[in-house]
Structure 1
């Protein structure tokens, strides 16, 4: 409370710094991520070459941006709160005039004319103290509508937080939509890869079957067929061919059985 009192009694720059601090606290609670969903004190160049420095730029999922300005003087509000009842009416009038003046100044900045950003036609004017706006709107109900006519929407911490939470929900839906599109794309690519793998494995299976058939044919000539090569080569050894090695007994036995079986078939 003491810090707030000192800020409100201080110079305009101190009030501005305090208002920006409150605005940042609201942004932190909104769920939006700094430098991604919103930017602070980002500089822009106008078409005439001049520079503009909005307090906060809120980035919307559709590519547009929303500008928030928190430069509001609350000196007269502080004096109204702490004044005697006889003096309150005068300070309240000054407080209203201060808000109206800021609406006019904010409208004159023409933030919507900044060509580097796609901005909505209205700007959010942030009043960091709820009761400062409540007292003003209760005294002059048309204040909000008059500001809206200048493309200015007056917000407080609670109403701004509700707006930012809505924007955060929009971002969540947009991220889910983008993820759904990416999942569909990845699923399609995975299906195509799987189809290619199935085709390749089918070809490998066919080639394995072909190789197996060729192997069986070669083994038939070499070992298992009648008049196989193994039997003939072994006869050469028995007839006196000089060799230093011998074929495996299992192979010789299979070759001999094949030749015997073939002879019996001929006898039959």
Structure 2
């Protein structure tokens, strides 16, 4: 009986131990599954970040390739213009030299010093203009080549600047926390720094804090107005969402992190609505594009908002607001700077073409003057021949009479020059004696 009870107790105890062991293993498995899901979520988030960075890099590479192609086309255009100008110069030089030699050889043996001086006065401005155009083309070509050389380094500086701005944002977070005015000023400083590094010139391609009035007379002061070639403009307004993002970074509990994310998204949406309601696009004196740019100087905060709400960018776009981080804003500004550089090069090319046309007009006028000079030389030579004929030919010509008087014994103080006397035509009926 005792053995039976002992065996029964042993079986019951074994079953109890087995159930307890199963419960412990199930709890451990649940904890392990939770950790596994957490790690998978973290891995997925990092993969999304990497994909977004890759997309941004591909976008920058595409813009860089387009800019290089534009610069290469401009280089080829300038090279063709330079070659054409040199060819025109050579052709004009040869034609002018041939024309001048032909005129000089056919019309006269020598020019007086006065004629040489007048010719130099006509030719020197022409030569100077040709040298000026050659120097201008070479200067434009050298500038374009130097700008193309530095374009690759500008892309590297863009990446470095993005990292620097991110570091500065983290270091200033605590100092700016809770001070809205200081946050706004800091955002404007970062915006101006990006503009300075973009290559655009203040008060030429962009203005800062320019006062404007709407239809009701209210004063509006956008942070920055960037000008496009062609007369259109775009407003850039800096909006800092820093406090909630700092909470997110500092939070250790998941609940606190989610609350901070919600506050951060609410802050960004609030800034979007505020900027949309200002309606800068309706200002008649601004001639703005159909959207404004909202600059978010905290790059990680920008990416956090878009990661947590993928529809946020579309929401802002529907409000005619473009969300811009330091990276993509600098890329956009660089693109605008490239557009302006091409615009200025086109203007220079147009000015070269205009002045070349003026030069050709003056050169054609100069050729007409040379033709007039040749015609006048011909007219003078013809008049001289006619005068010599009147002097030396025909019955009773002055030269024949003078020679006859000299033959009769007159002794003038100066003899008639031989080259003049050679033009006389004897008058047989008057010179022969009567039989």
TM-score by structure 2 length? Answer: 0.52
Q: Does the CA-based 8 Å contact 2:233-2:289 persist in structure 1?
A: yes
Q: What is aligned with 2:245? A: 77
- Structure 1 gap ranges (5+): none
Q: What is aligned with 1:111? A: 280
Inter-partner Cα distance in structure 1 for 2:190 and 2:383: 83
Q: Does the CA-based 8 Å contact 1:16-1:71 persist in structure 2?
A: yes
Q: Does the CA-based 8 Å contact 1:7-1:18 persist in structure 2?
A: no
Answering whether residue 368 of structure 2 is matched by residue 199 of structure 1, we say yes
1:126 to 284, 291, 295: 295
1:238-264 Cα shifts (integer Å, max 9, x gaps)? 7366xxxx54x7x633345555xx459
1:235 to 399, 403, 406: 406
Inter-partner Cα distance in structure 1 for 2:227 and 2:251: 41
Answering whether residue 211 of structure 2 is matched by residue 211 of structure 1, we say no
Instruction: Report the alpha carbon displacement of residue 219 of structure 1 after superposing the two structures with TM.
Output: 5.1
**1:40-189 alignment, distance < 5 Å:** 40-86=208-254, 87-189=256-358
Inter-partner Cα distance in structure 2 for 1:15 and 1:21: 10
1:140-188 Cα shifts (integer Å, max 9, x gaps)? 2111111111111100011111212222233233334444444444344
CA 1:230 to 1:69, structure 2 compared with 1: closer, same or farther past 3 Å? Answer: farther
Instruction: Report the alpha carbon displacement of residue 133 of structure 1 after superposing the two structures with TM.
Output: 0.7
Inter-partner Cα distance in structure 1 for 2:423 and 2:273: 110
Q: Does the CA-based 8 Å contact 1:130-1:156 persist in structure 2?
A: yes
Partner SS, residue 57 of structure 1: strand
* Structure number having the greater helix percentage: 2
CA 1:217 to 1:76, structure 2 compared with 1: closer, same or farther past 3 Å? Answer: same
Inter-partner Cα distance in structure 2 for 1:265 and 1:174: 86
Inter-partner Cα distance in structure 1 for 2:291 and 2:196: 23
1:254 to 387, 409, 419: 419
The count of corresponding residues between Structure 1 and Structure 2 is 258
Inter-partner Cα distance in structure 2 for 1:255 and 1:187: 51
Q: What is aligned with 2:123? A: none
1:6-58 Cα shifts (integer Å, max 9, x gaps)? 55326112111111111112112222222111111111111111111001111
- Between Structure 1 and Structure 2, whose CA radius of gyration is higher? 2
Greater RCO between the two (CA within 8 Å, min separation 6)?
1
CA 1:139 to 1:159, structure 2 compared with 1: closer, same or farther past 3 Å? Answer: same
- Structure 2 gap ranges (5+): 1-167
1:174-225 Cα shifts (integer Å, max 9, x gaps)? 3344444444443443333333332232122111111122234445666x87
Instruction: Report the alpha carbon displacement of residue 109 of structure 1 after superposing the two structures with TM.
Output: 0.9
Inter-partner Cα distance in structure 1 for 2:247 and 2:418: 117
Inter-partner Cα distance in structure 1 for 2:399 and 2:177: 113
Partner SS, residue 417 of structure 2: helix
CA 1:11 to 1:182, structure 2 compared with 1: closer, same or farther past 3 Å? Answer: same
**Mean CA deviation greater in 16-25 or 1-10:** 1-10
Inter-partner Cα distance in structure 2 for 1:53 and 1:230: 101
Partner SS, residue 234 of structure 2: strand
TM-score by structure 1 length? Answer: 0.81
